[in-house]
Structures are given as structure tokens and as C-alpha cells.
Amino acid sequence: MTQQVYRRWCRLALIMLTLIAAYCVFTVSRSGLQIDTNLRSLSPSFTLDPAINQALNKMSANAAQQFILVLVHEDEDQLAEASESMRELIEEPSSPIAYVDQTALLEIYVAQLQQHSFHMLGNNAQALLAEGDAEKILALGAANLYGSGGTLRLVPIAQDPLGFVNEYAVGLLDRLALNSGDEIQPIKQGDKEFFIAPQMLQIRSDALEMDQQDQALARIQTITAELRAEFPELKIISSGILFFAADAAQSARADIETISTGSMIGVLLLILWIFRSPRAFLLPALSIGMGLAFAFCLCHFWFGSIHILTLVFGASLIGVVVDYALHFYYFQAHHNYNHDQLPLYRALFLSLLTSVIGFSALAWSGLAALQQVATFAALGLVYAWLMVIAFGQLLAKKVRVYDSVLQNNLHSLLRHAAKVPVKAIVVIGFLMLGAGVYLTGFSLPVSDSPRSFFAANPQLVEQEKQVSDWVAGYEPASFIVVQGETAQQVYDRIAAVNARVDKDGDSLLAGRSLLGVQQFFPSPQQQQKNYQANQVLYAGAQVAQQFINQQQLTEISADDLARAYAQQKDAWLNPAQFFAQANLGLPPLWLESENTFTAFLLIPKGVDTLQLNQRLEDLEGAFFFSAMQDSETSMKLLRQSAMELLVLALLLMALLLLTRYHWKKMLQLMAIPVFAVSMSFLLLALFNLPLSLFHVMALFLVVGLGMDYVIFIAEMRENPVETLSAVAISSMTNLLSFGLLGLSVLPAVSAFGIALFIGCSLNLLGALMLASRNSFFLSQAVKP
């Protein structure tokens, strides 16, 4: 095959792939872009139980949407005025934020009770109906009609003349201990006394939309500034995921901008120094850019959305393509324009194959997150490679290389390195690895906690803690899951959970309660008892008729009530109907599937969850769930899987090399990336940097780059100095970019950068030693 035919085939393939991408763009443009930023999407364990996943999603949505602003002032009147000013500002029609409104919850709840009114009874009514004393029952009905029992009537009198259902409905307010919102409360902290007014707020629309979040934050800032101007002594303390997300985004943006500007300037200067023409940017920029766009379109089409980590990792892996462009420039610069480029294409193809195979190893994990990264990187690499082959000759035409200084230095380095015998290199290599293993104590420190990936602003953490102390609330990402085969079994198990939590009077909840279905509705058994008890009123002794006559409630028909009572015989209230309502502002505390009933109990903030977990350990059908722990487990699984696949990637690459090289040569070539990866692990441990998923993902790139270096050195052995120059420039661009990433304040980015910096340095060292094994330098080294 001639180089022209080779290029023609590549162009044809490029056109076909571009057409496929165009179709994907068309489809995606109709459905809209979906960038998944949720860490939980990565978690394999979440997919195991859809019920837990559903509850968590709802809780996350609520948590992302709701927030608290606490106004603090030493003067109660000033605080009241500030609170009112805030209300006016928040209730402006165009405001993107609003007060949390529990009216809908109450309305839906009461409507639900009304449909099953004969199965509901308040505590006082239950006790009296059990006694069966008609006089006492009538007296309680009168108290509910005229006295304190009728203060708040939620259930219509026509349906509940004695107010027994109403008693249960009103009790919800107590059972839920609904927070009173902007009420003023006195606080004593040490010697200081002051007042607080917590404002429970929410973003009007879906908080996950960045625009809405930005608008809400801008509004909060305006309101805060206005209030502070009006009340200079006023303090405003904030609490909510919204503020953490905004702070993280802001610091990430600033951090990435600084780093990317720094690395961009460095890389630009380096390229300009070597090529002295902005044309040199064309091929790498075009191939990487188009490769990314292609991968993005196809992945989005295939997966329906793209995870943010896929973009970050995938884009980095596709970055390997910069090497292809550099080698193209070097090849063109040192050969005639019409010189046969097939050897270069062969080297590039082999390099592509090793990278694609290496990165594809991630797809073997069975974990959706890693599979997406693998697909993204492989697709992007193939497309970028085709771009380089199809347009490389054209775009590299006028690019010249001005690297005489670099070549002289490399030449000298290679001659010196050639003096070191192979055996010595091998021994030194093993000694280094052995020393590393010994010094790390044969164990690698690891970190899989999601907390360690993000640096939370300590001021916000402090405010969060402060608000938690003042305002009652529930843990946003931990709860107790109770499951059973029947609804009654779940209720019984909830009772068992409560008994454990309140073990021997030593309650973990300090007077508060777990929030669950039991606060909303009685168990099926209790509902049945209530229905039977109501017989006294509506079916047997007709006490309801007596009450109606006694109180002259002539508009109410006892016969209608008796009929309704008979009709409701087996119509117990199923909590699933209530919790399925979308606008409750509550997580689905009760879910039903074919054979399983699941209840979720929310835990009040500040409870010792470790002890809670211990108390529930051997309880049948109930367990403590923490999204944080679950994420940690998932991240651990991902890291372990990625580490195993890294080994698999190296094995596959070795097998591929065997198809072209003798096994000894293959071992020689593979030794470089294997050493770079192994030593990187050890150095990270020696620097006391706990290994995370981000380090391991970076090492995939290290392997990809390392393989590129060794393949080019092996394939372009006729021009070892030029090839090593290209490798050195490629390395320097990587070291510049990734070295600066290592300085990021974001732990995840920093981890990625540090691992790459170490790995790339070792790759460069390995490439140097490999190039020095070239017969030309070896022959020079033995000369006197």
C-alpha cells in the first residue's frame, strides 16, 4: 500500500465518521445537552436498589433546592424589622427564590385522610371509643366542636362531626414538628445573648439548572447587601448545598483559569521556541479539538448524557494525540516532502492501537462510569489520529524545527547514558522499586472518601454547623431503610427501629423523632382497629346520630355517614398514594414494588450516626444507609477496578507489541511504562499522598504516553536524536500542563496532575535510556 492510498482510506473513514457524528449532533440537538455532574451516577451500588436510588434522588433535589438564611441581631426589634424587610424582598414577584411553603403538603395530606376518614382516629378518640362510654364520647365531640379541640379544623365538619379525624390531622403538625420559619428565637451562647430569625427558603425552579442557581445566588447577594446596608449590626448566616456548590464552582473556575493560562503560556512559548511559527499549533489543536467533538457527539448519542468526569478524563486521554502531531512535524522537517511517510504512519498506527487498547481496558470494568471514559477516549483518539494522517502532510508542510540546542544536549545525554550497561540499568531499576516497596512498608495509603475530592470552604462548614445547632432539620444524605413483605411488617419493623434507637431510655435522638411514614398514617392494623372502633359511632349504637341531634347539626346526615362508613370497609389508606405526589417537598418515605414494601426514616441532624448504625446492626429488615459511605465504597470499587484494568491494559499492549517485535524487544519496550507506573505508585506513597481514583486514571495516561515514546523510539531508530527531541518536547508540554495541575487547590485536579507529573518524568527518563540503547550511541560509548 502506498502512502497516498493509506491517506485516501483514512480520509474516507474520516468522512464516514463525520457523517455519523453529524447524525448524532442532529439527534442530540433535538433532545438537548445533558451533562451529568452527579457523583452518584458513578456509583455502581446505587443501581442495585432502585427504591434507594429514587429516595436519594428526591432528597438530593430537595437539598439542592432548599437553603436557610439565619438573621442574627442583638436587638429583637431590629431583627424583626430586618426579617420583615427580607420577606418583602423575597416576595417580590420576579424573585427567583421563595419561602418554603408547606401548605401543599398539608392540603394533600388532609385530602388523603378525608378519603379514608373512618380509618383515622386521634389519640383521645381512640381511648374513648375503646371504653365505649357514649356520654364521654359525646363530651369529647362537644369539646372538639366548641373548645380547644376545634381551634384548628382541617377536616370538614360534615365528614367528621365529632372532630375525631380532625384530631389526628392536626396532630401531624406536632408529629412533624414543622419548623416555624422566620420566627424569632432567643439564643444564649456563653455570655452572649442575641436573637435569631431563620428563613427557610428555596429556589423557585429546578436548582440543578445552573442558570437558576446563578440567578438565585445573585438575588441572595443583593438581598444580603441591602439588609446589611439597612441594618449594619445584622449578621446573616447561610446554610445549604447551594452555597457549597457556588463556592466550589467559583474557586474551581479561578483555579483552573490561573492554571490553564499558566500552562497555555508555557506550552505556547515552548512550541514557538522549537517551531517558531503559529502554524505549528494547527495540527495538534485541530486533531484534538475535532477528536473531542467527535467523541462527545457519539458518546452523548450512545449514553444519553455525558458525565463531567468523562469529559475531564476523556479529554486528557485524547491529549496523547499531541505526540502524533509533533512526530509528524519532526518527520517532515528531517525528510523530503515526497519521502515515503509509511514508516511514520506505521509508528503512529501502532501507537494509536496501544493507546486504544490500553484505554479500552477500562471498558472491561463493568462499571458504567469507566466504560464511558473508555468509549470517549477510544473514539476521540481514532478520530484525532485520522485527522493527523489525513491533514498532517498538508498542515505540517511549512513547519520547520529549530531545536539544535535541544538536539545537542540530547546527543550528549544519550552518549553518557549509553555508557551505563543494560544490566546496571535493570539492577538500579529493581533496587529503586525494592527500596520504594520497603520504605512504604509494603502498603499504599489510599483515599476513597468523596470529601477528599473537594476542598469545602471552612467558613461555610462553620456556618453550616452553626445553623444545624440552631435550626432543626434532617440529615440530607443518610437515612434508615426499613423493608418488608407486607405493609404491616414494615410498620412493625419501624417500631422495632424506634425501640432500638430509644434503647433502655438512652435515646440517640434527644427528644426528636425519626421522620417516617408512621408520623403520617397509622399502620394497616391500627387503621383496621380504628374502623372497628368507629362502629360505635356509625353502625352500632348510632352515637353520631345522638351527637347530631344533641348539637342540632341539622345539615349533617347520620345516614349518609353510615353509608359512607359501610363503603369504606376495606379501603385502608395506602401511604404509597400520598408519597407519590410530586409537590410534597418530601422524599418518598414509602415505596412499593412487586413484593417489597420500603420505608425510609429520616434522621435528625446532629445524631451520632455511628452509634445509630451499631444499634441497628442485627435488626432484621432495617439498615442504616449513608450516601457518603456508599459513595466511598463505590469510589473504592472504581479505584480497585481501574488498578486491575491498568495491569490488563499493560498486558494487552504487550501482546500487541509481540505481533511486531521479538519478545525480548517487547520486554525492553514494556519495561518503561511498567517502571513508570510502578514507581509512580511508590513515589505517591513515599510523598504520603493517599492513592485515589484520580491518581489511577492519570496513570492510564502515563501508560499511553509511555507507549507512544517507546514505539516511536523503536520505529524511528534511524533518527534517534530527532525522535527523542520530539519525545522530549512532548514530555515538556505534558510536564508543564500537568505539573501546574498538581498545584491546584482542588484535590481531585491536583491528584491527577501530580500523578501525571511523576509518571511523565519517569517516562522521559525511560525513553532516554531506551534511545541510548541505539547501536549508534552504544558504538560511540565504547570508543576510547
Partner 1 sequence: MKKIIACLLCLTPFVAWPLQAADTAILQEYLPQSCYQLGRYQQQKSVRGLVKPIETQGYFAFACDKGLLWHTSAPLTETLIYRLQGATRLVRGDGSQQKLSGVVQRQLGQMLNNLLGGNKAYLERAFVIARSEQGIQLVPRKKRMEKFLQRIDIAREQDTVSIRLQHPGGEYTAIRVHAIQSFELLNTSECSQQLAVERSADLCQQLFNP
Grid cell digits, residue 691 = 492513592
CB of residue 77 to partner 1, shortest distance in Å: 5
Of 142, 256, 286, 477, which lies in the binding site for partner 1, with binding defined by CB under 8 A? 142
**DSSP labels for 252-266?**
HHHHHHHHHHHHHHH
The residue among 74 and 718 lying less far from partner 1, judged by its C-beta, is 74
Of 132, 147, 278, 445, which lies in the binding site for partner 1, with binding defined by CB under 8 A? 147
Cβ contact 337:397 at 8 Å: yes
Cβ contact 67:202 at 8 Å: yes
Q: Per CB under 8 A, which region of 22-30, 98-106, 449-457, 460-468 contacts partner 1? A: 98-106
DSSP summary character for residue 156? -
- The residue written with cell numbers 367528621 in the block is 160
Q: What is residue 502's three-state secondary structure? A: coil
The residue among 170 and 544 lying less far from partner 1, judged by its C-beta, is 170
Q: Is 151 in the site for partner 1 (CB under 8 A)?
A: yes
- Environment class of 555 (CB within 10 Å of its CB; exposed 0-12, middle 13-18, buried 19+): exposed
Q: Is 461 in the site for partner 1 (CB under 8 A)?
A: no
Q: Per CB under 8 A, which region of 96-104, 335-343, 485-493, 771-779 contacts partner 1? A: 96-104
What residue type is 562 in one-letter code?
A: A
The residue among 93 and 366 lying less far from partner 1, judged by its C-beta, is 93
CB of residue 85 to partner 1, shortest distance in Å: 10
Q: Is 148 in the site for partner 1 (CB under 8 A)?
A: yes
Q: Per CB under 8 A, which region of 94-102, 216-224, 480-488, 615-623 contacts partner 1? A: 94-102
Of 553, 576, 654, 781, which lies in the binding site for partner 1, with binding defined by CB under 8 A? 553
Of 36, 182, 323, 448, which lies in the binding site for partner 1, with binding defined by CB under 8 A? 182
Q: Per CB under 8 A, which region of 24-32, 206-214, 449-457, 548-556 contacts partner 1? A: 548-556
Q: Which residues neighbour 409 within 8 Å (Cβ) at sequence distance 6 or greater?
A: none
CB of residue 139 to partner 1, shortest distance in Å: 8
Rounded CA gap, 683 and 681, in Å? 6
The residue among 177 and 293 lying less far from partner 1, judged by its C-beta, is 177
- Environment class of 117 (CB within 10 Å of its CB; exposed 0-12, middle 13-18, buried 19+): buried
**DSSP labels for 716-771?**
TTTSHHHHHHHHHHHHHHHHHHHHHHTT-SSHHHHHHHHHHHHHHHHHHHHHHHHH
The residue among 139 and 651 lying less far from partner 1, judged by its C-beta, is 139
The residue among 182 and 722 lying less far from partner 1, judged by its C-beta, is 182
Of 94, 404, 552, 595, which lies in the binding site for partner 1, with binding defined by CB under 8 A? 552
Beta strands in 567-680 (DSSP E): 590-592, 597-604, 622-626
Q: What is residue 772's three-state secondary structure? A: helix
DSSP summary character for residue 153? -
CB of residue 203 to partner 1, shortest distance in Å: 19
**Between the CA of residue 540 and those of 181, 534, 566, 567, 743, what are the distances in Å?**
46, 9, 12, 15, 80
Rounded CA gap, 655 and 287, in Å? 28
Of 156, 343, 436, 585, which lies in the binding site for partner 1, with binding defined by CB under 8 A? 156
Hey, which residues between 611 and 630 contact partner 1 (CB under 8 A)? none
The residue among 146 and 430 lying less far from partner 1, judged by its C-beta, is 146
Q: Per CB under 8 A, which region of 376-384, 504-512, 551-559, 699-707 contacts partner 1? A: 551-559
Look at residues 673, 693, 684 and name the one whose alpha carbon lies nearest to residue 443: 684
Q: Is 472 in the site for partner 1 (CB under 8 A)?
A: no
Hey, which residues between 69 and 88 contact partner 1 (CB under 8 A)? 77, 80-81, 84, 87
Of 418, 556, 589, 649, which lies in the binding site for partner 1, with binding defined by CB under 8 A? 556
The residue among 29 and 554 lying less far from partner 1, judged by its C-beta, is 554
CB of residue 600 to partner 1, shortest distance in Å: 23
The residue among 160 and 475 lying less far from partner 1, judged by its C-beta, is 160
Rounded CA gap, 77 and 91, in Å? 21
The residue among 106 and 496 lying less far from partner 1, judged by its C-beta, is 106
Q: Is 143 in the site for partner 1 (CB under 8 A)?
A: yes
Q: Is 549 in the site for partner 1 (CB under 8 A)?
A: no
**Between the CA of residue 693 and those of 53, 255, 299, 635, what are the distances in Å?**
23, 21, 22, 7
Q: Is 29 in the site for partner 1 (CB under 8 A)?
A: no
Rounded CA gap, 249 and 650, in Å? 36
The residue among 186 and 458 lying less far from partner 1, judged by its C-beta, is 186
Of 180, 260, 459, 611, which lies in the binding site for partner 1, with binding defined by CB under 8 A? 180
- The residue written with cell numbers 423523632 in the block is 513
Rounded CA gap, 677 and 682, in Å? 9
The residue among 118 and 330 lying less far from partner 1, judged by its C-beta, is 118
CB of residue 96 to partner 1, shortest distance in Å: 18
Grid cell digits, residue 457 = 470552604
Q: Is 127 in the site for partner 1 (CB under 8 A)?
A: no
# residues contacting partner 1 (CB under 8 A) = 41
Rounded CA gap, 562 and 547, in Å? 14
CB of residue 199 to partner 1, shortest distance in Å: 11
The residue among 101 and 469 lying less far from partner 1, judged by its C-beta, is 101
Torsion-angle region of residue 339: left (phi > 0), alpha (psi -120 to 50) or beta? beta
Q: Per CB under 8 A, which region of 144-152, 305-313, 340-348, 651-659 contacts partner 1? A: 144-152
What residue type is 225 in one-letter code?
A: A
The residue among 84 and 214 lying less far from partner 1, judged by its C-beta, is 84
Count CB atoms within 10 A of the CB of residue 134: 16
Torsion, CA 259, CA 264, CA 265, CA 267, rounded to 10? 120
Q: Is 157 in the site for partner 1 (CB under 8 A)?
A: yes
Grid cell digits, residue 179 = 419548623
For residue 324, the surrounding DSSP H or E stretch is helix 322-334
Q: Is 106 in the site for partner 1 (CB under 8 A)?
A: yes
Q: Is 178 in the site for partner 1 (CB under 8 A)?
A: yes
Rounded CA gap, 168 and 147, in Å? 16
- The residue written with cell numbers 437553603 in the block is 67
Q: Which residues pair with 691 in a beta bridge?
A: 446
Q: Is 94 in the site for partner 1 (CB under 8 A)?
A: no
Q: Is 108 in the site for partner 1 (CB under 8 A)?
A: no
Of 152, 264, 435, 499, which lies in the binding site for partner 1, with binding defined by CB under 8 A? 152
**Between the CA of residue 623 and those of 188, 480, 500, what are the distances in Å?**
37, 6, 12
CB of residue 169 to partner 1, shortest distance in Å: 11
Binding site for partner 1 (CB under 8 A): 77, 80-81, 84, 87, 91, 99, 101-103, 106, 139, 142-143, 145-148, 150-153, 156-158, 170-171, 173-174, 177-183, 552-556
